């Protein structure tokens, strides 16, 4: 009985796929196919919020590893573009799987064994990716022209029904943090100062390698901070980093002088 490994991918989700049904629907179709064909499903790999032309996808790397271990006879995916949206990457992946003696199955593409059909389909998928990217760039440019925000709103703001940004409950905290940063406070000092000023302490970071909202806000660059302060001129003014009269400025001038002397 062939051992089947399911590969699932979706480009745009909420970051982990919890609120998306695409990955689950792909899995449901492939599990039904495996049950009908008598395959033993040994596992499934999910790449959520990752592009088909990305060669470093964790799921794709795990797929290679499982096939090289000899624990897989068949790799199943819902459609060829779930595996790759680059013709070169597609052929590289399929060549490597063939070299390892692993077959492939697509629910939507029954003629993958025919190189001409497969490569034409791969070229069409790659071109469709370019068309989608061009459409997104055009829409993003128009949103900027209209003053609408594209993407998740920054900390301290939320997206209104019109698409523009409006202040959220954390806006006052954000201003307080920028004032502390402008005064050349260290991050730790800013955090304790925020707590003493009546702002609640930041929640625990959501996971390994993640940062709390306040920690992220403190670490933002001055370029973004200036934009955030400009976005609400009625309630606050634009802040600029201290240029002189601070220890940090003196250190910066010292580093610059040493660099020029070298």
Helix (H, G, I), strand (E, B) or coil at 162: coil
Tally of domains within the chain: 2
CA atoms within 13 Å, Cβ hemisphere of 169: 3
- The pTM for the full model equals 0.60
**199, part of any domain:** yes
Q: Say whether both 74 and 184 belong to one domain.
A: no
**pLDDT score for 195:** 61
pLDDT digits (tens, 9 = 90+) for 86-107: 999 999 999 999 999 999 999 9
Domain boundary among 133, 151, 177: 133
Q: Say whether both 114 and 15 belong to one domain.
A: yes
Q: Say whether both 123 and 205 belong to one domain.
A: no
Q: Which domain holds residue 176?
A: 169-245
Domain boundary among 89, 113, 133: 133
Q: Say whether both 117 and 179 belong to one domain.
A: no
**73, part of any domain:** yes
| Residue keyed to tokens 């022209």 | 145
pLDDT digits (tens, 9 = 90+) for 43-65: 999 998 889 999 999 999 999 99
Q: Indicate the helix (H) or strand (E) that contains 9.
A: strand 3-10
Helix (H, G, I), strand (E, B) or coil at 5: strand
**pLDDT score for 150:** 74
**234, part of any domain:** yes
The residues of the chain scoring below 70 in pLDDT are 13-20, 184-262
**253, part of any domain:** no
**26, part of any domain:** yes
**In whole angstroms, what is the distance from residue 208 CA to residue 184 CA?**
29
Q: Say whether both 25 and 81 belong to one domain.
A: yes
When computed from its CA atoms, the radius of gyration of the chain, rounded to whole angstroms, is 25
């Amino acid at each position: 009985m062939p051992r089947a490994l399911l590969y699932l991918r979706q480009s745009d989700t909420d970051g982990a796929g919890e609120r998306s049904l695409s990955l689950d629907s792909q899995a449901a179709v492939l599990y039904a196919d495996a049950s009908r064909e008598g395959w033993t499903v040994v596992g499934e790999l999910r790449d959520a919020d990752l592009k088909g032309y990305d060669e470093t996808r964790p799921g794709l790397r795990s797929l290679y590893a499982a096939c090289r271990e000899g624990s897989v006879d068949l790799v199943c995916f819902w459609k060829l573009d779930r595996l790759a949206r680059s013709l070169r990457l597609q052929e590289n992946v399929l060549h490597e799987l063939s070299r390892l003696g692993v077959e492939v199955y697509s629910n939507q593409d029954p003629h993958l064994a025919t190189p001409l059909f497969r490569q034409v389909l791969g070229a069409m998928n790659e071109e469709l990716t370019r068309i989608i990217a061009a459409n997104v760039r055009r829409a993003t440019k128009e949103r900027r022209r209209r003053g609408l925000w594209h993407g998740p709103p920054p900390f301290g703001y939320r997206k209104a029904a019109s698409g523009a940004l409006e202040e959220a409950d954390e806006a006052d905290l954000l201003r307080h943090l920028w004032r502390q940063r402008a005064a050349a406070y260290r991050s730790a000092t800013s955090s304790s100062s925020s707590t003493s000023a009546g702002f609640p302490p930041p929640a625990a970071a959501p996971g390994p390698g993640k940062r709390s909202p306040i920690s992220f806000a403190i670490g933002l660059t001055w370029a973004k901070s200036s934009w955030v302060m400009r976005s609400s001129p009625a309630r606050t003014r634009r802040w600029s980093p201290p240029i002189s009269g601070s220890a940090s400025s003196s250190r910066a001038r010292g580093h610059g002088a040493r660099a020029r002397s070298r």
